[in-house]
Structure 1
């Protein structure tokens, strides 16, 4: 049985809450997770708290161990830090879209592309998903 965590969920960012949940589900300690991921324990612990900025490398290492894509962890780590959203955009809508994309990809056995798709491919995919131009009267 792992040692009792001294980090409280209410002090954690969404990423930290995911890490705490993973520790509990796996029945492992933060030290063991740090060993598995190759992240120094103080850095892993620090990544759990609100207002911290884990490095992309930390997120990639963590993602490999917990079985998520590093961009999923990135959206959790930086949730609420995306600026200049349209006024009518719900704060959680981008997060929900990202989570839904990754969940669907996982269910279909798909992995994220190794290189960023072109704007044309992204545009085509968005149209196929039902997005429409703002000035489209038929929407």
Structure 2
């Protein structure tokens, strides 16, 4: 059983909370995760707190060990730091879409595909999700 963590979940960013949950599920210490990922323990600990900015390299190293895509950890790390879009902003923002995709995949415990889907599969998925051309010339997928 790992030693009790001295970091409180309420002091953590969404990334930090995710890391704490991972440590608990895996029954490992933060020192062990630091060792496995090659991220110095002070940097790993610091990445857990609200208002911190972990480097992309830190996120890539953690993602590899945690079995996640680095963009998923990136969205968690910067979730609280992204300014909300104004009410009149276009709802098809790429940032919103990416966050929703990763959040839904995380909730469903789905892994990121190892191979990039073909254009045909991406097109079909977009049509199923309700995307359409400006002139609605794209037919629905049944």
Range into which the TM-score falls when normalised by the shorter chain: 0.7 to 0.9
1:41-120 equivalences under 5 Å are 41-83=41-83, 85-87=85-87, 94=97, 95-101=99-105, 106=111, 110-111=113-114, 113=116
Query: 2-side partners of 1:23 and 1:51: how far apart?
Result: 21
Query: Structure 1-normalised TM-score?
Result: 0.74
Over the residues paired in the alignment, what is the CA RMSD in angstroms? 3.1
Distance in 2, Cα, partners of 1:135 & 1:96: 26
Kindly report which structure 2 residues correspond to 1:16-31, keeping only aligned pairs within 5 A, or say none.
Answer: 16-31=16-31
Q: Deviations over 1:46-75 (max 9, x none)?
A: 000001000000000000111111010000
* Residues in 1 aligned to 2:132 and 2:76: alpha-carbon distance in whole angstroms: 28
Structure 2 length as normaliser, TM-score?
Answer: 0.72
Structure 1: stretches of 5+ with no match in the other structure: none
1:84 to partner: Cα distance: 6.4
Cα distance in structure 2, aligned partners of 1:96 and 1:83: 16
Where does the alignment leave 5 or more consecutive residues of structure 2 unmatched?
137-142
Shift of 1:86: 4.8
| 1:12 alignment counterpart | 12
Deviations 1:63-96 (A, max 9, x none): 011111101000000003334635165xxx5433
